[in-house]
Amino acid sequence: MELDDFNFCDERAELAIQYGRVPLWLYEVGASANATHVYGYLSAKYGGSKKGIFPGQDRLAEALNTSMSTVSRAMKELSDLGALQVKRRGQGMTNFYKLMWSDPRQTAPKPAEAMPSLVGV
């Protein structure tokens, strides 16, 4: 069988599967396995949501087959790394989460820095 003829995936299964993405920079900064696991799950489950992400940590722990304290530590780590923004919604309510894809170590140049001014030339 030629490599060009090889089917690398089952297209029927691909339509039914939700995929998560974990940005490379998260691995490069040394994020823990638990943090990348939580990020990947949030990405797969809620990454395309226009309404935002607000699962409870108990629900995440159950889905990931781990403890709430592990999920809590992983989410704090993701927040500290700049991979997850957390907004508290109030007592008795789940938090609102936003996945951050861009590497916070990379800063976009300000327009003035990106293009030198031609004023006075």
86 forms beta bridges with 97
User: Which pLDDT value is given to residue 64?
Assistant: 96
Report the 10 Å Cβ neighbour count for 33. Answer: 8
User: Which pLDDT value is given to residue 1?
Assistant: 47
Task: Give the amino acid at 43.
Answer: S
Write out the E strands in the chain. 84-87, 96-99
User: Which pLDDT value is given to residue 115?
Assistant: 45
- Answering whether pTM is above 0.85, one says no
Query: 39: part of which helix (H) or strand (E)?
Result: helix 33-46
User: Which pLDDT value is given to residue 2?
Assistant: 55
Annotated domain spans of the chain = 17-103
Cα(53)–Cα(73) distance, rounded to whole angstroms? 18
Cα(71)–Cα(35) distance, rounded to whole angstroms? 8
Query: 99: part of which helix (H) or strand (E)?
Result: strand 96-99
End-to-end Cα, the chain, rounded Å: 65
User: Which pLDDT value is given to residue 4?
Assistant: 55
Q: Which two three-digit tokens encode residue 36?
A: 């990348």
Is-contact 44 53, C-beta < 8 A? no
CATH architecture of 17-103: Orthogonal Bundle (1.10)
84 forms beta bridges with 99
pLDDT tens for the 121 residues of the chain, in order = 454 555 545 555 555 567 889 999 999 999 999 999 999 999 998 887 777 778 889 999 999 999 999 999 999 999 999 999 988 888 888 888 889 989 988 865 555 544 444 444 4
